[in-house]
Amino acid sequence: MEPFPSDRIQLPRNMIENSMFEEEPDVVDLAKEPCLHPLEPDEVEYEPRSSRLLVRGLGEHEIDDDEEDYESSAKLLGMSFMNRSSGLRNNMSICRQNPNGSCSVPSARTMVACTVVLVIAVSLIIYLLPKCTFTKEGCHKKNHTMELIYPLASNGKVFPWAKIRLPPDVVPLHYDLVLQPNLTTLKFAGSVKIVVNIIRVTQKIVLHSSGLNITKATITSAEGREAKPAEFLEYPLHDQIAVMAPEALLVGQNYTINIEYSSNLSDTYYGFYKISYKDENSEQRWFAATQFEPLAARSAFPCFDEPAFKATFLIKIKRDEKLSTLSNMPKKATTPVTDGIVQDEFFVSLKMSTYLVAFVVADLENISRETNGSLVSVYAIPQHLNQAEYALNTAVKLLEFYQKYFLMNYPLEKLDLVAIPDFQSGAMENWGLITFRETALLFDSTTSSAMDKKLITAVIAHELAHQWFGNLVTMEWWNDLWLNEGFATFMEYFAMEEIFPELHSDEDFLNLIFKAMMKDSLNSSHPVSSAVQSSEQIEEMFDALSYIKGASLLLMLKQYLTKDVFQAGIEVYLHNHNYGSAQSDDLWDSMNEITNGTLDVKKLMKTWILHKGFPLVTVVRRGKIISVQQEKFSYHVETENWTSNASYLWHIPLTYITSSCNFTHCTNAYLLDQKSAVIELPEEVEWIKFNVDMNGYYVVHYAEDWKTLIDLLKNNHTALSPKDRANLINNIFSLAGLGKESLEKAFELIDYLNKENSTAPLTQALFQLSLIYSLLEKNGEQQLAARVMHRIEQLLGDKIDQQRWTDDGTLSERELRSTLLTFACTHGVRNCRTTATEMFEKWMKSNGTTSLPSDVMKAIFTAGTKSSDGWEFLLKMYSSSVSEAEKSKMIEALASTEDVRKMIWLMQNSLEGEVIRAQELSHIIATVSRSLPGYLLAWDFVKENWKKLTRKFHLGSYTIQNIISWSTSQFATKAHLLEVKSFFESKSEESSQLRCVKEAIETIQLNIQWMERNLAKLQELL
């Protein structure tokens, strides 16, 4: 899935043990301290005591689950100390080992002391739990029946499963799914037959269901001709149902579960959801589509909704004969059902995960082209079909490239790309039926800019890469989501460089890595591979670390292994695990098959996958001797969850170039797998630059050598590549934030920018200076902020004046033009607003009929909305525009207004989804937050509408992450810190424990620290 551009903390162990002695112990969440004893992916997360039942009288023969159930029960009863007792016994020995390996008997005093301690401990246990007899099976009453804790089902009966993860005793093989959506009543009816295989004897089949009104459930054995009615129990807290068999289900046998149900089409962006749009005649039409990743297939049909439970699917959809349907597979047949209703049947799918199932019911048109035996089609609503050609051409080129690179054909006969009128993400990689937000698929030659073209290309490249990474080979559980998303992101940029070099996509990837490192530098960050359990934790894995950090680690590995070795490792990985599931170690094992002992890839990469954050490498040059030392890049803000950095050690594939040879083929490599090392150069050099082209995921501090590099940029900046120059700018400002370098030196380094013509260093410098400007402006330092803006104008003013208000030039030049002019018009730099306002007024006088250059359209619209008439006219044009690219620029310009009432109206209207779709809300909040009057309004809006926001977008989702970040990231006072903390603490535990909430709080603390450290220095400097 392409997003559109929390760890829970454990009670200290003494508190866990103390909780045993409370009269009614609260639940202990053992997932809350991943650094000590990480929760295994299949361990249970327990519910509040109000939702649990103490089940007595269940004998051993009635419990067919493994011994984890006993352990789980012990944990729930507050007996976690029992888990450690066996370990203590194993480690205690009657004899004490001498250095030579022999044993000596302990002294009599030691024996007596140990005996006394043991007697006291046993007495205490017996006193506290007088009715409990401990055996190796657990805690038994005197009648020898087991005491287990299970939740209550919705009907008040005992639900036979307490874990979030499904039991492993039943696996699905095949689904027959029949659906009948009604786009008039906005409801749907369904039935599903699931063929399952029994791994262990059981009398229950536990699977997922969410919000479905189940009316009937039956079970049929492989030999049985008659379906037997089955009782079913529902446990909504875990989205689970249990189908209770009338008799034991036997190992190795197949059974068929048949479930009939109905539900409403969702009004969120999850599951099987409804969308309204206006057709060519401005009539309201309805559209039904799916978005199942990560946990929403269960809201469309009962299923085993975990990625490792792969199965085949036969899908049939009954629909109005005037509409059309699409699903993962090609259509097999269409048959009449009743008057005006027909049924479409699709071919049986390949083996795949439930989150990849998809179907669309709508009035759509398409264009198609065949390549290598597969029919590639782009679908859109009729009035948008003329914008589909670029996407079709791009998809065909990318599909052909991937098949050659992976040495593995795309396995389906068709590939559909569908533009959805209202879609939360950028796109979703459903196998054979990829769904997109319209702006991520449709290209209008008159209104789409160079940046729009790059976005569309990138999203298609990402989703097509998923057809192999994610669909063919799927991560086993969501803790390894990076295997899907990191790989797809890496392949997205790699493929674009290979096929579309004119787009300069590597510059975009560089900027994304810089932003990911800002997030990863926080203590509230998480390892790329992290244990997750709850739906909120799973949703939060869809973040910059899974996507961008994951991709950048693969880039670093590719550079270190060489491209041929890396490609061969990928081929082995795909071949070994196709149609199956994989973990991170499977990828490293595949790479090790190719390196064949010359390098332990697993040992190298585990230091990156299992550690959060990234290293700071300090370089000291003394003649030919280069000393390098690594430590964790850390701000050392004392938070509640602060973790020590002492144990962090990465295996860092360092790269460097020197003044003696600074071409790419002269790149040197060194693996730093210790805290420090010494590199001896063959000769003395004038300068050395590490992390060539920013291909490594680390920051470099040059100590005394910063002055040498500053002089190099002033005198001969082209001695370094544009990416290396951007890397230096990013690193020195990061180090200034850390307190390891001065802001003065950072400003000195960017003094050369008036000679800079490349996009990457210019955009990185503008980004860093804008952060400082925004922080000062929002915190009462307007005069100092104005001086920062004056400095920006000194550095970039001439460059802004040189920009032409046209669409000519290379794509990189056009993108830079758009960035610089939008910034200048937003902040009133030079004569940008004057020129843009004149162009807007001409456009307005023509009633929007004259064409505007697409690359500068956003700058023109932004200037035009400064007047009330201009804003109103742009809103009218927004409502009537048929170009999604144009509407996207309009909405950002509308949100750039300085009129408070208009800002509030935009946010409220987008949440309601009437004039402006809810998919635009996070974009609107981000834009509103950038302005001085808007940043407080945005936070107030989030507070007042929190319940509506989390219902529409779900806790932990990428949208909620962005909304929280944008609405709080510019606060820098203790009052705001307290307000943000208090607000989230007043909400549910799920809200307060979100990782993005912890990031927001930590960011405010860092802002406060930055202001305290740098305010006086800035006043002197500027």
- Residues known to be catalytic: 463
CB-CB contact of 942 with 935 (8 Å): no
Give me the amino acid identity at 980: V
Q: Alpha-carbon distance 673 to 22, whole Å?
A: 48
| Residue type, position 119, single letter | V
Is the Cβ–Cβ distance between 500 and 457 less than 8 Å?
yes
Tokens of 475: 């991560």
* CB distance 204 to 247 below 8 Å: no
Measure CA 648 to chain center.
24
Read off φ and ψ for residue 77, nearest 5 degrees: -80, 5
For strand 187-198 and strand 254-264, is the pairing parallel, antiparallel, or unpaired? antiparallel
Euclidean distance between CA atoms 403 and 376, whole angstroms = 14
Residue among 574, 405, 555, 408 at smallest CA distance from 493: 555
Q: How far apart are CA 722 and CA 771, in angstroms?
A: 21
Rounded Cα–Cα distance for residues 784 and 1019 (Å): 7
Q: Which residues contact 118 (CB under 8 A, 6 or more apart)?
A: none
Enter the DSSP assignment of 501. Answer: G
d(CA 466, CA 430): 9
Give one DSSP letter per residue of 185-214, joined into a string.
Answer: TTEEEEEEEEEEEESS-EEEEEEE--S-EE
Structure tokens at 317: 């959809």
Structure tokens at 362: 């709508």
Outline where 352-479 has alpha helix (H). 389-406, 450-466
Number of CB atoms found within 10 A of residue 128's CB: 11
Q: In terms of DSSP H, where are the helices of 25-154? A: 68-76, 81-91, 108-128
Residue 298 CA: distances (Å) to CA of 410, 475, 537, 736 = 28, 19, 18, 49
Both tokens of residue 809? 């030039």
DSSP string, 817-886: HHHHHHHHHHHT-TTHHHHHHHHHHHHHHTTT-S---GGGHHHHHHHHTTSHHHHHHHHHHHHH---HHH
Locate 444 and state its tokens. Answer: 């209008």
CA distance 196 to 474: 20
Instruction: Give CA–CA dist 249/224, Å, rounded.
Output: 13
Nearest 5°: phi and psi at 474? -115, 145
Q: Please, what's the b/e burial string for 395-432 (b: 16 or more CB within 10 A of its CB; e: otherwise)? A: bbbbbebbbebbebebebebbbbbbbbbbbbbbbbbbb
Work out the end-to-end distance of the chain between its first and last CA atoms, rounded to an integer number of angstroms: 44
Of the CA atoms within 13 Å of residue 593, those in its CB half-sphere come to 14
Name the one residue in this structure whose structure tokens are 């750039």. 896
Q: Quick one: angle between helices 550-561 and 481-499, nearest 10?
A: 60
Instruction: Report the run of H or E that residue 591 belongs to, with start and end.
Output: helix 584-595
What are the φ and ψ backbone dihedral angles of 369, each rounded to 5 degrees?
A: -155, 145
